Amino acid sequence: MEQIRDAYGVLLKNIQELEGSMNSLKRTSPECINSIVRASKKRIVDSKKIQEVIDKLNIKLHPRGLFVVAPSGAGKSHYVKGHNTWTDQDPFLAEFGEGKGDLSESKLRKADDLTFELKKEGGWVMGATWWNPQHIDAFIIPPESIIKKRLRQKTDKFPESYYGDVIKPHIENDIRPMAKKNMISKYMTRLKSVCMH
């Protein structure tokens, strides 16, 4: 109980110091504070632009959006081509100039924010690019043999070692722990076994 009281005291002191710093900043540069507050209230993406892309790509909307994540080589694009109720994340992100190339933290966050906006509109999105696990409804992890086979069949070729060097560590170190920690459903199967609607 004493440890809790001590931790609470430290937290309270930090809050008071932060409030003091904010008050000092308000007095010296109020326009800075006002611009920070305005920026924090902005929507990530203009909803008009999202709607334009939905119309352009003929994205089917549903009463409730979904975001299903599967690693490269899982067959997402192939699956979506045969099931027009789903949207491939890659072409959607490409409309905003996102999703390919350098996947830095800021790029991953932006891609995740865009995908989440589409999900909020009712899109059923299938992709591999994500940041916030709370935006994900399910992970699908096909067997290793299927992923390796599909990687070999892709038009944008991957090195032979790509599965072992990139995908397997991503599944083991990111997807599985994140799914467990955030209680996200994970399916160890082919896409068609899970996503048939």
- Asked if 178 contacts 184 with a C-beta cutoff of 8 angstroms, the reply is yes
Phi, psi of 177 (to 5 degrees): -65, -40
* Ramachandran assignment for 45, one of left (phi > 0), alpha (psi -120 to 50 degrees), beta (any other): beta
Q: What is the tens place of the pLDDT at every residue in 141-169?
A: 999 999 999 888 887 778 889 999 999 99
pLDDT the model gives residue 188: 65
d(CA 23, CA 30): 9
Helix, strand, or coil (residue 105): helix
Its pTM stands at: 0.71
* Both structure tokens of 142: 């096909």
pLDDT the model gives residue 20: 56
- Whether the per-residue pLDDT at 4 is higher than 80: the answer is no
Q: What is the tens place of the pLDDT at every residue in 96-138?
A: 988 666 678 888 899 999 999 999 999 999 999 999 999 999 9
User: What is the per-residue DSSP string for 13-62?
Assistant: HHHHHHHHHHHHHHHH-HHHHHHHHHHHHS-SS-HHHHHHHHHHTT--B-
Phi, psi of 139 (to 5 degrees): -110, 140
- Whether the per-residue pLDDT at 5 is higher than 80: the answer is no
Sign of CA dihedral 110, 116, 119, 121: negative
Q: What is the tens place of the pLDDT at every residue in 49-105?
A: 999 999 999 999 999 999 999 998 888 988 999 889 999 999 999 999 886 666 788
* Both structure tokens of 24: 């000092």
pLDDT the model gives residue 197: 40
- Whether the per-residue pLDDT at 38 is higher than 90: the answer is no
- Asked if 80 contacts 58 with a C-beta cutoff of 8 angstroms, the reply is no
